[in-house]
Amino acid sequence: MPLQKDVDFKFQMLLVLAMMTWGLSWTNGKILGNYNSVEIIILWRFFFAALFFFPILIISKVSILPPLISIPSITLNASLITFYNIFYFAGTKYGYASTGGVLVTTLNPILTTIILGLLFKKRIPKKDWFALILAVIGSSLITQIWNINQSLIIKTGNIYFLGASLSWVCVTINTSISKKYINYMTYTFWSFFFGFLISFLFASNKNIFIVFNYDWIFWTNLIIISIGAMAFGQSIYFKATSILGPQKASSYILMVPITAVFFAIILLGESINYFTILGGSLSLIAILIINKKTNRNLN
């Protein structure tokens, strides 16, 4: 029987790999956006994510069929993830993958913490408000808000990145509510499957099979973004949360903006300006403050 220390180390390594796939996904999205319409790419991303997540569901030995009470929540979640993907691909198409990787991934946990606190009428610690202020400053630096006008905010992709962040916050909140009556693995699989059905409606008037004419670069990026970031990344993260604890597991999310910038520089040749570095650093500090435990019970 393996020692607990060995099990922890194993999942820490898997978690590092999962976070790297999340960081790499921003570069994958940028590359895929050059091939076809967003609707077709999202359709196939959901398809492969659901296809490869199903065996994980079987191995995990959890219920495959969702309870009827969870269907509205799953449908809402699938819709929100679909909108997230629309914003995500639009943002990476018009903007820098590195900017999106830093802005969205650092803004998500901070906005989620604050909105959840307000929604469930919990007293939000002063440290979380301070973290939010840091995040706002950081996001303003990343987007260089002083230079933004109506046309530029679209051309740079920043408006789409903000839309992606807000839609993912809604996904997180919806998921936190649904966990009361459905296992997360079951919930995730059916969210992917319903997402496939919803995205099929958007792509019904397009030639969805044109992807089979594309080269290995397209398929490599599609497989990584679907199987790696969605199926593997999400299952490992939530499994690691139950083994390492949410506090320790969530700290690994700090790797995502760092790896997003790294892969964008290496694979896309993007140049990173000082505002992205400074803004990203402030946002990372904000996440550390958010994740810091407080002595009182927040429940």
DSSP characters over 20-79: HHHHHHHHHHHHHTTTS-HHHHHHHHHHHHHHHHHHHHHHTT--SSPPGGGHHHHHHHHH
On whether residue 297 sits in a domain, the answer given is no
On whether residue 298 sits in a domain, the answer given is no
Closest CA to 162 of 112, 107, 95: 107
Task: Return per-residue pLDDT of the chain as tens, 299 residues.
Answer: 455 565 567 777 888 888 899 889 999 999 998 887 888 999 999 999 999 999 888 888 888 899 999 899 999 999 999 999 999 998 888 877 877 777 787 777 777 777 777 777 777 777 777 877 777 787 777 766 666 555 555 555 678 888 888 888 888 788 878 878 888 889 889 999 999 999 999 888 889 999 999 999 999 999 999 999 988 887 787 776 656 665 566 667 777 888 888 888 889 888 777 777 887 787 778 777 776 654 433 33
Name the region of 245 (left: φ>0; alpha: ψ -120 to 50; beta: rest).
left
CA neighbours within 13 Å on the CB side: how many for 112?
A: 23
On whether residue 299 sits in a domain, the answer given is no
On whether residue 132 sits in a domain, the answer given is yes
Q: Tokens 């569901």 label which residue?
A: 57
On whether residue 102 sits in a domain, the answer given is yes
On whether residue 296 sits in a domain, the answer given is no
On whether residue 48 sits in a domain, the answer given is yes
Encoding tokens for residue 103?
Answer: 């802005």
Q: Which domain holds residue 214?
A: 4-291
On whether residue 186 sits in a domain, the answer given is yes
Q: Tokens 């409606």 label which residue?
A: 201
Number of compact structural domains in the chain:
1
Phi, psi of 33 (to 5 degrees): -65, -15
